[in-house]
Structures are given as structure tokens and as C-alpha cells.
Amino acid sequence: MSQARWNELKALVGRGLMVRTDSREVLPGEVFVAMPAAADKTDAFIAAAIERGAAWIIAPKGTPLPSCAAKLCAPPAGLDTADALGLLASAHFHTRRHAMQVVAITGTNGKTTVSYLVEGLLAAAGRSVGVLGTVAYRWPGAHIDANLTTPGCWRLHELFAQMSESGVDTVVMETSSHALDQKRVAGLSFDAAVLTNLTQDHLDYHGDFEAYYQAKTMLFGTYPRPDKFKAANADDPYGMHLLTEYPDAVGFSLGGAVSPGNRMLRGNILKSTGKGITLRMDYDGKSWTLDSGLVGAHNASNLLAAQSVGLGLGLSGTDMQALAPFTGVPGRLERVPNEHDLDIFVDYAHTPDALINVLRALRALDFSRVITVFGCGGNRDRTKRPLMGRAVVQYSDVAVLTSDNPRHENPLDIMADVRPGMSEAPAGVTVIEDADRYAALCKAVEIMQPGDALLIAGKGHETYQQIGDVKHPFSDVEAVSRAVRQIKGGRP
């Protein structure tokens, strides 16, 4: 594509011309972008877009175009069509004119909790904050249920424009490895980026840990603003590796990790009980303490991640006291109140490492027994299933295996994939199976005694169970509350 033609197209898009990535949505005169993820169907999608009246076609260099009036354009040199979409989205929504700072949080676990913590920290400092993440896309005056942790590129720029119009000055966004690899964040510029950890997940997509890591690190090196503030968890092997690659990044650690050349935010757990955590922080010769209602070492690490972002954006140790009132995120070790004062928690943990972290946190609270209800999602990484089963039986007294979101798999087949890991259960651990998630919750509630803890893992804040293509209403919080009423009855 000549620079003149590209400039012509950007100008038209900047004046309101719509861009589509779904050929079925194209209207006469609009632009169609053939995305790399659908490369095997590019010709068919282009033909469909032309039939619907597309005036511009953005496709990889060398793509043949049927004889028609549409203009065929290749992305500018060195870019693919996903990059081009980001530039066009930025032009359409005038993204670069928005005076907003952008904080990106990536990692296998902890993204949502850290995003809530950073939101609270910055709001207390007087900022107007927008959050894009797993639970919702929200900002003052707006709340939209999220269907993806990181929305598609065009939608992402549209949300940025809406936030800017509402007076938001700082955006905090969870940034998934899929979004980075697929360049959904193309056209954006980040002011701060933080890596919480890297543990097994999404290997069905990435193939192996190295590819997974490389997708995450795109946030730190590939996307604009090489001078962005960077932070990484030095207690995580991949976080430490990232620190060695970026000497200007700040490391945070609970375990005294050392990365020569990097500044370090060090945390020390002074007290950890069922009521919360007391942390002492040391950074650049200054120290402060923080009392938090969050529970467990994994949340202590999340607190350090949030504070590292705050420090990178100019806050002080004194400002960190704004984190003290924060008591948690929906579906993240969320306590379910009930008439019988049973200790019931709902958590989004759906990876081996996340299960280990949350179960260790409950173990530290000295409950009589830990009962865990869990399952594995269908059409997702199968290799993590036995590892999740092993994690549950290692840290639970009773393991209740059930269905999660089976999608297009048979729940019994998914459970069969989990079972080998559970075969390593220590002596005395009870294993219960029921593919019906509500029935499994009822069985767990039925065996609960005062002093036990019940963890319902995997779905967290979700309000549905996906079976096939249908999302059926199902909330773990509502379902277990109903089970308690049904089985335990009213308060004696």
C-alpha cells in the first residue's frame, strides 16, 4: 500500500468510516480487515465482504482480489492486518488524543485482584479510574458485564473513547496472553505494565511455556512506550527472567529474591490470620506497614504488585494505606454469608497453581477440615486437569469433583482426565464425584460440620454454566446459599 493511499484511508476512518473484521457485518462503503487468525478463510471472507458492498479491503500483501470496485490495501511495511486494525481503530476513536494513563496487568493468576487494588489505590489519590477486566468493564457511571478479559481491538478503543468522554484519567486493564498474541491491544500505548506470575494455563493455545511467556512479554517490549514503568514478581521464575531482560523494571518479592541491577520492593508478612495480613514494605530506603483484610500469601503478593504500580505512578508509601479497607473481589476467596455461620468461600481458581495458593491460604487458618468442590472447563487445556486434581487432594480433606463449564465436551470425559491426579490422594482424603454441579454442592454442604471450610473453586464471579453453546444461569454463591437453606434449614 502506498503511504498516500494509507493516509487517505486513515483520514476517512478518522472522519467516521466504519471498519469491520466480520464480513457478515459489512455495510456498503465500509472497510473490511481480514484478520490473521482467519488466514485459511481469507479469500471466502473477502468475497463475502465485497458482496455486501465493502469499499476497502485490508488484506496481507499478495492477496488476490476478485474484479470489483473495492480498493485492496496491504498494511504498511512491517505490519500485519491486526496492527493495521489497531491503527485504524486509533484513528476512528482518536485514541491518542485521550489524556489517560494506561496500566496493564498480565499474569496467569491475580490479575483481577490486582486491578481492583490498583483502582482503589489510584481513586484514593484523586484519580478517576476505569477498569477493563474479567468481571466487568466499568468506570464512574458505567458498568458492562465482561465477555472477554481483554475485549477485541475495535471494541477496546471504543471503550477507551467512552471512558475519556466520562472524564476518566487512568485506565487499569487486565491484559491476557491471548489478547497480546492476537494484537487486540494494537494502537494503544501503556504507561505501566506488571507481571503477577506465570503458571500452567492456556497451553492448548500457546503450545508450551516459552510461547506463553513470549506472549506475556510482548506487553513489556513490543508495544509502544519503551519508557513505560515495568514491574514483575521476582518470586516467580518467569518474573525473575523478565527482570533480567529489563534492568529498568522493578521487582517485588515476599521471599527476599535478588535481581542484580533491578530496584526491589520487598515485602515481609508480619502477621497472617483469618482476619487478614500485616505487611512491612521496604523500597528505595523507605519502609511502611500495611494492615489488610485480605487472606493468604498469594494476596500479600497481589498487594505488592499493586503497590509497585502505585510507586511507578508517583505515589508514596503513605499513600498505600488506601489499600487497608479493601476486603476482596467478587469470586476471589469470597465469603458466602449464611444463617449457620458456615465458612464457605467461592473462588475463581481454575489452574493448578491458583488452587494450591487458595488452599494453602485456607490451611493457614486452622480449619478442622477443608472441603473443596471443583471441576475443569471443557475445550480448554487438558494437560492441567490431572494437575488440578492432584492439587486439590494434596491440600483438602474432602475433594468433590464435579462439572465446571463443560462447553462442547462430555463432563464425564473431563472428570476422567482429572481422576489420574486424584489417584495420588494421601491416606484419609475422601473423594466424592457428581457431574451435576448443584448436586455436588449439596453433598459438600451435607457433610460440613462447624469448624470446616468449604471452597467452591473454578467459576468465581460467573453467573452461568456453559453447556454446549448455551449459557445456563448458575451462580456458585446463589447455588450454595440455596443448598444451605435446603439442607441445613433455618437457624435452629
Highest mean pLDDT range out of 25-39, 141-155, 263-277, 436-450? 436-450
Report d(CA 292, CA 283) in Å as an integer: 19
Q: Is the pLDDT of residue 211 over 90?
A: no
| Antiparallel, parallel or unpaired: β 276-283 and 263-273 | antiparallel
| Antiparallel, parallel or unpaired: β 19-20 and 31-33 | parallel
Mean pLDDT of 25-52: 92
Same domain, 57 and 85: yes
Exposure b/e, 140-179, CB count within 10 A at least 16 = b: eeeeeebebbbbbbbbbbbbbbbbbeeebbbbbbbbbbeb
Q: Which pLDDT belongs to residue 380?
A: 92
Q: Which one is predicted more confidently, 1 or 326?
A: 326
- pLDDT tens digits, 97-143: 999 999 999 998 899 999 999 999 999 999 999 999 988 999 999 99
Same domain, 83 and 109: no
Q: Is the pLDDT of residue 87 over 60?
A: yes
**Mean pLDDT (the chain, rounded):** 92
Domain assignment of residue 348, yes or no: yes
The model's pTM: 0.81
Same domain, 478 and 385: yes
Q: Which pLDDT belongs to residue 109?
A: 87
Same domain, 402 and 480: yes
Q: Write out the three cell numbers for 234.
A: 521476582
- pLDDT tens digits, 225-265: 888 999 999 999 999 999 999 999 999 999 999 999 999 99
Bridge partners, residue 276, by sequence = 273
Q: Which pLDDT belongs to residue 490?
A: 63
Same domain, 79 and 163: no
Q: Write out the three cell numbers for 310.
A: 502505585
Mean pLDDT of 424-448: 97
Domain assignment of residue 319, yes or no: yes
Q: Which pLDDT belongs to residue 10?
A: 93
What share of the chain in percent tops pLDDT 90?
Answer: 74
Tell me the CA end-to-end span of the chain in Å, nearest whole number: 76
Range of the domain at 23: 3-92
Same domain, 189 and 287: yes
Q: Which pLDDT belongs to residue 274?
A: 67
Q: What is the CATH number of the domain that holds 15?
A: 3.40.1390.10
- pLDDT tens digits, 343-356: 999 999 999 988 99
Instruction: Answer with the one of 67, 92, 117 that is the final residue of a domain.
Output: 92
pLDDT band at 1 (very low <50, low <70, confident <90, very high): low
Same domain, 27 and 107: no
Same domain, 236 and 260: yes
Q: Is the pLDDT of residue 63 over 90?
A: no
Q: Is the pLDDT of residue 196 over 90?
A: yes
| Length of the chain measured in residues | 492
pLDDT band at 213 (very low <50, low <70, confident <90, very high): confident
pLDDT band at 206 (very low <50, low <70, confident <90, very high): low
Same domain, 415 and 469: yes
Domain assignment of residue 328, yes or no: no
Same domain, 367 and 449: yes
What share of the chain in percent tops pLDDT 70?
Answer: 97
Q: What is the CATH number of the domain that holds 400?
A: 3.90.190.20
Q: Is 431 exposed, middle or buried (0-12, 13-18, 19+ CB in 10 A)?
A: middle
Q: Which pLDDT belongs to residue 407?
A: 97
Same domain, 118 and 259: yes
pLDDT band at 492 (very low <50, low <70, confident <90, very high): very low
SS3 144: strand
Q: CA 26, 31, 32 angle in degrees (round to 5)?
A: 65
Report d(CA 56, CA 73) in Å as an integer: 7
Q: Is the pLDDT of residue 26 over 80?
A: yes
Alpha carbon 337 to its chain centroid, in Å, reads 26
Mean pLDDT of 382-407: 97
Domain assignment of residue 293, yes or no: yes
Q: What is the CATH number of the domain that holds 204?
A: 3.40.1190.10
Q: Return the biggest CA–CA distance within the chain.
A: 79
The stretches of 24-139 forming alpha helices (DSSP H) are 42-51, 81-93, 111-124
- The number of distinct structural domains making up the chain is 3
Q: Is the pLDDT of residue 201 over 70?
A: no
CA dist list (Å): 356 to 161, 359, 441: 39, 5, 20
